[in-house]
Amino acid sequence: MYVILENPKRMTENEMRKEFVNKWVYIVDCDFEIGVPMETGVPMVLADSPWEGREDGIYRKLDEEYGRTMYLSFLSNELNVFGISEVAANV
């Protein structure tokens, strides 16, 4: 299941990590440079698995509206390495 946050606030990655335990987070209006970690962003979509709601077109709509988007996975069954999620085997 996914949820689009109402009245989201700008947060750091550490703040998101603490608030969105075991969630996949789609972030808009990100402050980052290529090769440099994100400083802050606005979490917009929370999901129980990666890309939930894709069939509804939510991510395409957010990309068009905000431009600088990314995602972070705080799911317990995934590793997030340099912004790339990988399913962890037997973790």
Separation of alpha carbons 71 and 20, rounded Å: 12
Query: pTM score > 0.75 for this model?
Result: yes
Domain locations along the chain: 2-87
The pLDDT value given to residue 81: 52
Q: Which of 65, 31, 49 is nearest to 57 (CA)?
A: 65
Q: What angle do CA 50, 16, 35 make, to 5 degrees?
A: 75
What pLDDT, on the 0 to 100 scale, is given for residue 32?
A: 80
CA 43 from centroid of its chain's CA atoms: 7
pLDDT in tens, 34-77: 788 889 999 999 999 999 999 999 999 999 998 889 999 999 87
Cα-based distances in Å from 45 to 7, 9, 15, 19, 54:
12, 12, 15, 13, 11
